[in-house]
Structures are given as C-alpha cells and as structure tokens.
C-alpha cells in the first residue's frame, strides 16, 4: 500500500498518481486488482450509490459502512475517506470522525475547503489530509467551472497554498481552468489530483460510475467513460430473465 510519503515521492519523480472512487467491497477488489494507486470513498456515493441529489444528504453513519467495505475489499490499496458535510464542522468533531475512518483502515481523509482550525488540528494528531479546492460540491451553488475570474482564481490558489503550508500531502483540484491547475501544481509540494483540472496535475481522479459507465445519465464535461457497464448490466439482466422464462 502506498503511504502518503510514497505518493509525494511519485510527484517528486514526475510519476502520475491514479485515484478512482469506489464504494463497496466488490468494486474495491476490482480497483485493487487493476492496480490503482488510491481509492477514494467519496461522499459522491450519496448520488451514485444512494440516489440522492446532493452530497449534503449523507453523514458519518453512511460513510462508515462504505469505507469499511472498501477497506475490506482493497486491504493493500491506499484508501482515502471523504469527510461528509458537517463532519468537519469544528476541529474536535473532525478529529473524532477522521479517527473512526482511520480505525477502519483508511490511510488518509479528504475534506473540502479550509474549515477553520480543522486541518491544523488533524495534522497535529498525525492524520494525513488530502485537501479539495475549486468546485466544492458540499457547498457549491452550482456545478459550473470555478476560478474563471481572476479574483476567484486567486482565492483558489491562496486556499491551495494555505493547505499545502498546513501539511496536506495531497489535494484534489476540481473543475478549474487548466492553467490554474498547472500554476497550483507548480507552486505546492502536495500532490495535485485533478478532476476537470487540466492535464498538468500530478494525478487524476474519476467517479467510478462515470469511468465505468454505470449509469445512463450524461457525464460531466471532464469525465471519460472507459466501458459501458450500464449496457452490459441491462443485457445481463435480460439474459437472466430470458433464462428464467425459458424454464417455465
């Protein structure tokens, strides 16, 4: 399993870092068998696994179940556990929740933005932290690209540098212009993981359901579908139904 320092070493050697979301035992096994560097148990599971519209609709109870399943399925892969909405609302709450993830086998936690005093406190307790800048789904008013105006770009860059100085080993850069992704990647020691952050980030993350084509809905502009599991699944179910009917 790659440790946070192994992941930083990849940046230093100019190697790319692959991260994919997974949420359950079976898909975690597949991601580990494929050799992905990191699995993110994202709070996007609110949408992909539970059918909610917003990631704000889930909390620690749901996340703990899925993080535990992924850790069981991928015991040799670096699992990043996503802090759900308000689970990091103050330093002590954040630490207590992060500790629960780490005790299940997560290797690091991810949180959105710069909640006051939280990253400092987690780092003082040796919790490896992956930051998240740009589009922040837990609090965003819309899902448009962030950092298009100079003012917004400067704020994102400042937040990225701030979390780098606080000792985050990694940061997700979501849906920002490519040149901003490059600038931040060049300026910080942390590993930058893009999702719609352009080609210059140190690595990339995709939501598993987009990458594997697990749903019929339109993909975000920055996502690529590598296989069509939705079509395969429907076909498989139809064959099953046909086989049941054939036995009547």
Neighbours of 237 (CB within 10 A): 10
Q: Is 170 annotated in the active site?
A: no
For residue 72, the minimal CB distance to ligand KIV (Å) is 20
Minimum distance of ligand KIV from residue 195's CB (angstroms): 5
- The reply to whether 82 sits near ligand KIV by the rule CB under 6 A is yes
Q: Which member of 20, 36, 38, 43 binds ligand KIV (CB under 6 A)?
A: 43
Place of tokens 């999702």: 195
Instruction: Write b or e for each residue in 143-177: b if 16 or more Cβ atoms lie within 10 A of its Cβ, otherwise e.
Output: eebbbeeeebbeebbebbeebbebbbbbbbbbbbb
Any residues with CB less than 8 A from the CB of 91 and at least 6 apart, and which?
Answer: 117, 118, 120, 121, 122
Q: Which residue is nearest to ligand KIV (CB)?
A: 42
Q: What are phi and psi of 196, to 5 degrees?
A: 75, 40
Tell me if 127 contacts ligand KIV by CB under 6 A.
no
Contact flag: residue 21 with ligand KIV (CB under 6 A): yes
Choosing from 32, 112, 170, 174, which is the catalytic residue? 174
Cβ of residue 199: shortest distance to ligand KIV, in angstroms? Answer: 17
Question: By the criterion CB under 6 A, which residues form the site for ligand KIV?
Answer: 21, 40, 42-44, 82, 172, 174, 195, 205, 207
| Residues known to be catalytic | 174
């Amino acid at each position: 399993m790659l440790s946070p320092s192994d992941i930083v070493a990849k940046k230093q050697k100019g190697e790319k870092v692959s991260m994919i979301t997974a949420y359950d035992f079976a898909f975690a096994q597949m991601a580990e068998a494929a050799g992905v560097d990191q699995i993110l148990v994202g709070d996007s599971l609110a949408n992909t696994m539970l059918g909610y519209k917003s990631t704000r609709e889930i909390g620690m109870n749901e996340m703990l179940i899925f993080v535990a399943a992924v850790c069981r399925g991928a015991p040799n892969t670096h699992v990043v556990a996503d802090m759900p909405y308000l689970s990091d609302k103050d330093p002590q709450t954040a630490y207590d929740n992060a500790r629960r993830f780490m005790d299940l086998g997560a290797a690091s936690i991810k949180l959105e933005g710069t909640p006051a005093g939280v990253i400092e406190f987690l780092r003082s307790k040796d919790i490896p932290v992956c930051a998240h800048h740009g589009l922040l789904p837990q609090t965003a008013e819309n899902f448009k690209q962030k950092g298009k105006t100079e003012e917004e770009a400067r704020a994102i860059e400042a937040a990225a540098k701030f979390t780098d100085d606080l000792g985050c080993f990694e940061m997700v850069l979501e849906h920002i212009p490519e040149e901003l992704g490059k600038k931040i990647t060049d300026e910080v020691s942390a590993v930058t993981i893009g999702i719609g952050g352009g080609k210059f980030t140190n690595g990339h993350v995709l939501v598993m359901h987009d990458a594997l084509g697990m749903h019929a809905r339109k993909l975000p502009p920055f996502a690529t579908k590598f296989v069509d599991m939705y079509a395969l699944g429907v076909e498989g179910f139809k064959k099953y139904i046909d086989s049941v009917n054939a036995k009547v």
